[in-house]
Chains A and B, each alone.
Chain A
């Protein structure tokens, strides 16, 4: 808890004869994070290993499988298959089915490519012919002259040509199309005059007959090509359905084979031996040792190496109780924690839903979001999707609980008064009844309290982190600076408390008399001393940090969003209810008429749209603001991140069973 899983650095050495067995066992267990061999100094005389036998064949087959997968448009949905194929069965069907599937895919894709080329060709031919369709001359007459030159192209307007010629002009909205026949001797003169008039020549297509007929002919062909392509698309979709499970399973099996066969590329080898370095969770160490020794009959050397935290990047795997697991997504979104720093996932998993609930706090919206977090599971698969929806589930439960406390159901008051603070604004019928507004000031103070405590917690965690990760004088300085930040923040609070009585906060303003020359009460002087100590403690670590002092105030005040964002969402809900129910529906219900029914339906639509929009805003606002309070205000106090992900050698099988 609050710490990543303990890792041990392992060195495995053995003869090359054992390498295949060792790799297969490590792959199956999925615990060994391989440290790539990159020619480190202590490995003088070693070189990179070569892939195991069978790597090339497996790669080739994998290539064919992937080609077919692409051709058929097979998509993995991320979830495990309903029934998994056994590797032996799959290998048999790879022998029999793969050549056939591959041939089918190849044939269809080639045909499709040919048809698509033809389609493009037809399109460009039609486009070329289109302007000539406006000129009533068969295409044969444009070619085959010895003494005549033919020019065709677009002009902005009709052109008067002085040289001997014969022309056909067809005008259109955006300029016209011009065809000019002229004796070869006058070609230059005609061209010059045409260019002056803005003539843009086009190629004369190599066709016969009237242009309109040619276009019609091509369009018919186009339609048939289109039909054929559709047929191929249907065939591919059919094949995709037929072979999807086989292709996905085969892809998985072969990927596993290739990964295992290529593992020696990450090992150091000599002619007869191999050495693999890597990381395993300390708890699994005895297991791995025992199983490797059993497989090789004891002919292997396994040694646990000492860890040098300053130089070794230890891979980090979370170690959290089950309910905190979804929040790992939120922490990973920022950055994986380092190996020897505090992992804040557990805190996030508690505080994030809490903030979300405080902001949203509505039973109705909470229930809708809770239903969404279950309903969306069908579409959002894979681990990250599940984590996201689990976070949403926890958050919406918190929103429901706070909704009960605030007594809110889609903005409407539940049958009881709000238990602690009221967030109901005097809008609509409530205003007429003279209801008093929300307890904005009290809630603001509570929000600030939450901020003060959250930030204090962050600073305390930072002290722990510095104590663990730093060395020597730097450690002392860094820890002192953190106490300085704490003293500065609490010092400001003490000074304020000593001057003004604030509800829900400590009242120090009545204690002691004002000390004449300073103008402060005794606690005010203590507060000033704390502030001064804070500044000195911060400055001794890094003087530039003193410029950051105002963030103490802005970060604490930033927690006011817990109140502000929530109240604005309540306001939208109340206004929606007021407009839809009070202004549109209720007057019609008083005297029902056919038109009134239509207006009532409109009112219900307004109600629905308003609440859907507000729900979307509430989800975004509550989620993002809660996340922001963690990332900006909380994490910046202690969290470094940048740890290396623990990626064990092996594969989570979704489509095939273990051998």
Chain B
């Protein structure tokens, strides 16, 4: 058994765990934002497909509607990049 109370945190360990938590945070930012975007695009994408199938001219508008929630994941990506590199 490791005696937790006597464990000593060195400065390197703190730095390493900070870097690790940053990476976890970056991963969560992209991953969760991606799930959100996916949920948003799910309904829009299906409806856009249907509309385009009925009328080819809808394609441009359908594409526009479908990519609107994509901004969310871009925000996630930006947050992740800032966490990792600045």
Contacts and interface: CB of A to CB of B under 8 A. Distances in A.
B64 A563 contact: no
B78 A334 contact: no
Interface in A488-537: none
Interface in A605-659: 624-625, 627-628, 631-632
Interface string B57-75: 1011101100110110011
B48 interface: no
A554 B71 contact: yes
Contacts of A560: 74-75, 78
B74 A631 contact: no
B61 A441 contact: no
A554 B68 CA distance: 11
A631 B81 CA distance: 26
Interface in B13-72: 57, 59-61, 63-64, 67-68, 70-71
B86 interface: yes
Contacts of A557: 71, 75, 78
Contacts of A567: 77, 81
A441 B86 contact: yes
B82 interface: yes
A558 B74 contact: yes
Contacts of B71: 554, 557-558, 561
A568 B78 CA distance: 10
Classify the secondary structure of A's interface with B: helix
Interface string A461-480: 00000000000000000000
Nearest to B81: A440
Chain B interface category by residue count: 10 to 19
A440 B86 contact: yes
Contacts of B75: 557, 560
Contacts of B57: 335
Nearest to A441: B86
B81 A564 contact: yes
Given A557-B75, A561-B74, A564-B74, A437 B84 contact: yes
B86 A564 contact: no
B78 to A, nearest CB: 5
A548 to B, nearest CB: 13
Nearest to B80: A564
A444 B85 CA distance: 12
B82 A632 contact: no
Which residue among B59, B61, B78 has the maximum number of chain A CB atoms within 10 Å of its CB? B78
A438 B67 contact: no
Nearest to A557: B75
Nearest to A444: B78
B35 to A, nearest CB: 17
A632 B67 contact: yes
B53 to A, nearest CB: 16
Given A425-B85, A632-B64, 8 more contacts: A333-B59, A334-B60, A334-B61, A334-B64, A335-B60, A554-B71, A558-B74, A563-B78
Interface of B: 57, 59-61, 63-64, 67-68, 70-71, 74-75, 77-78, 81-82, 84-86
19 contacts: A332-B60, A333-B60, A334-B60, A334-B61, A335-B57, A425-B85, A437-B84, A441-B85, A557-B78, A558-B74, A560-B75, A560-B78, A564-B74, A564-B78, A565-B74, A624-B63, A628-B63, A631-B60, A631-B67
